[in-house]
Amino acid sequence: MAKFLVEKSSSLHGEIEVSGSKNAVLPIMAASILTDEKCQIMDAPVLRDVDVMCRLLESIGSQVKVNYEEGTVEIETSSIIAKEAPYELVKKMRASILVMGPLLSRTGQAKIALPGGCAIGARPINLHLKGFQALGADITEGHGYVEAKADKLVGANVYLDFPSVGATENIMMAAVMADGITVIENVAEEPEIVDLANFLNKMGARIKGAGTDTIKIEGVEALNGTKHAVIPDRIETGTFMVAAAITRGDILIKNVVPDHVKPIIAKLKECGVVIEDSDEGLRVHGDINELISTDIKTLPYPGFPTDMQSQFMAFLTTVSGPSVVIETVFENRYMHIGELNRMGANIKIEGRSAIIQGNQKLQGAQVISTDLRAGAALVLSGLVAEGTTEISEIYHIERGYTNFIGKFRALGARINRIEE
């Protein structure tokens, strides 16, 4: 069982380069199934989740070549040998569900192990299935699996009750070769949706409106192979911005799309953090002003991202004054609060709100990473807590951040990985 040992560290200084986006590369890899030609994905992050997606694609019949030094993943699916995402892979990575739309589109059939819930919520897939049914698929469920079948997918109008990122991606991928026009309303507007739409359009799809609340797709006969560089990871960017703030440091973050992190820039500036946007990247100064509290409400993009909620909350325990955080996207994304309170934070949950007292002197403790972003929050708190913080269940962190420890150590963080 691997753990992180984090010691109280001095303010972080220096520069880091953000890796490719986990939440962009995974749907794009799944989309490569839609053609029998080769797809080359550049700037792919080195992540356990990417490995799992490679294994899943190989089990479906893809030839996959990964070159982590160059950050490229080559995928060629000349034939499909299985139309299924088995439980042993889905339980490792919920994003396996993203092969359902492409498999259904390419073969008329897809059988996926139901992902089940996770620490942050029930994570249902009803909206994915609603889209597939609207396009003409028959859905059957049983023994922990869900299967979609369609002789022909026909363009349709779909309204999403919630702007679900995964549902938007899956339905878009199912619709690109359907007969006729598909209009999906109340869709997710995240940058990862736009990146996937750009990839699909490079393959020959006809998608309009990605990044707005309505996507229109004109079905085409077939798609071709293509090359595509994925966008930088906006959540990794935000995590290092908060690292500069919580340690009162000064970090230059390179390979950033500032537009993708606007809410994080806005909220950090409200706390007194000075942020300079230059050609080199984002320079984040946590060491200039006394940092004060602010309130956060997570919302679908372009609102404040739920994936930054726990990291920002860790920071808010160290500023002057109380803060309120409201999580509106997932129903159970406060698991990190118990762990932060074990480190001396003073956070109370009132309904869907968390009230955070500022100016807390955190102490190192043994804590558990309950999800990917909660783990990052505990590392951030460990950097400023007196003594040593021992974080277990760190596989969550390692599946979602590229060279996590290396990047933090390059900035002066005292953090080690131990095997027990």
Per CB under 6 A, residues contacting ligand EPZ are 22-23, 26, 95, 121-128, 162, 164-167, 188, 306-307, 329-330, 372-373, 400
CB 104, min distance to ligand EPZ, A: 15
Residue 154: Cβ within 10 Å count: 15
Residue 251 CB partners (closer than 8 Å, separation 6+):
12, 13, 14, 15, 16, 240, 241, 243, 244, 283, 284, 411
Taking only Cα atoms into account, the Rg of the chain, rounded to an integer number of angstroms, comes to 21
Closest CA to 307 of 7, 19, 22: 22
Structure tokens given for 8 = 């109280």
Report the C-alpha gap between 107 and 306 in whole angstroms: 35
CB 249, min distance to ligand EPZ, A: 24
Q: Which is nearer to ligand EPZ, 252 or 378 (CB)?
A: 378
DSSP symbol at 162 = S
DSSP reduced 3-state for 21? coil
Q: Which is nearer to ligand EPZ, 41 or 362 (CB)?
A: 41
Q: Which is nearer to ligand EPZ, 8 or 130 (CB)?
A: 130
Name the residue with the smallest CB distance to ligand EPZ: 166
Q: Which is nearer to ligand EPZ, 167 or 411 (CB)?
A: 167
CB 329, min distance to ligand EPZ, A: 5
Would you call 271 a catalytic residue per the annotation?
Answer: no
Residues 207 and 230: beta-carbon distance below 8 Å: no
Q: Where are the alpha helices (DSSP H) in 207-323?
A: 234-246, 262-270, 309-316
One DSSP character per residue, 274-287 reads: EEEEETTEEEEESS
Closest CA to 347 of 303, 296, 391: 296
- β-bridge mates for residue 149, sequence order: 109, 138
CB 121, min distance to ligand EPZ, A: 5
Q: Which is nearer to ligand EPZ, 168 or 293 (CB)?
A: 168
CB 26, min distance to ligand EPZ, A: 5
Q: Which residues of 56-94 are buried (b: 16+ CB within 10 A; e: fewer)?
A: bbebbbbebebeeeebbbbbbbeebeebbbebebbebbb
CB 379, min distance to ligand EPZ, A: 15
Q: Which is nearer to ligand EPZ, 108 or 121 (CB)?
A: 121
List residues with catalytic annotation: 118
